Structure 1
């Protein structure tokens, strides 16, 4: 079997993305923002030396076009699934393909770099990146081994506790671009003062009013 990590980015339909940003972005802007961040996560994955296979899992054809344009695979969902169902399906598919190292990534990580992904991959199974709000932005696992996905509030602690009950531990990548997802206006405010991926940077440049709205 080839060495390296199979990466799957979990992405909901663009029209359903980033609803918590409604106070500062209209529906079309939210969809464009989600697409930009997905593009940057794909660029990060493509720049990771540990990445052997890259895919995006989504029911949205627009998401699929972005993935294919970046040279990634599109894992089409028949219907929109929650994160836990999507992650379980991605893991089952990876297992059927003979993968032994699977990394699941959120689609809204505009600070992510290939180096961040490599650092997580080097931690080995099981490892992950904890979001600032306690969520799980990335998971590294062996799809051939049982794993209960528990995405939701404080999911990183829930994943760690679930593994602990099995006598396993969840190593945490404590710094880097995988820790910051963007779901709220304060998170958008942080984007304006930091270096982000090219697509996200271009999107923000088209909306100069944002700085005033999140101030």
Structure 2
């Protein structure tokens, strides 16, 4: 939603799927200086039931232009779940986005050795920290030579994250050029980095 210094209205929907039921505690975490109409609610859901709760958020008068996240956490007997409401203060970069850039276009490694590939993950026009996961993609048949397959990610608006992944081709790997790429997924936003060449030398 877009907000120009006036209260932003939304609806929080909570649903119990299947036989899941029980108490649900909702918590609102807004940016510093922002004022939600409520910060904590507890409700009881029957199996298959749902509830809709209105939520009004008043932005900080000095909020910077761009996208701000209001996080909604739900603590249930089945675990904790999270969603985020994006509130846009006009005047920021359009479109606001998540991005992935390679730190170096290529790496070289010998069979039996190890090397790390690094990327930088940041955001443009998003004024809140993003949390999510960085995934490593590589061609079929090479998955065991690179890892981890995924790792937690936190992208702050003023400091990009720099996840790294290890490439460790076994001694039987044929020399040649391969590739890996990194995908970042944070609060509904997805970004793909460029392919990074992996040159495997003679053993």
TM-score, normalising length from structure 1?
0.23
Instruction: Look at both structures and tell me which one has the larger radius of gyration over its CA atoms.
Output: 2
Structure with bigger strand share is 2
Higher relative contact order (CA 8 A, sep 6+): 1
Higher helix share: 1
Output the TM-score relative to the length of structure 2: 0.25
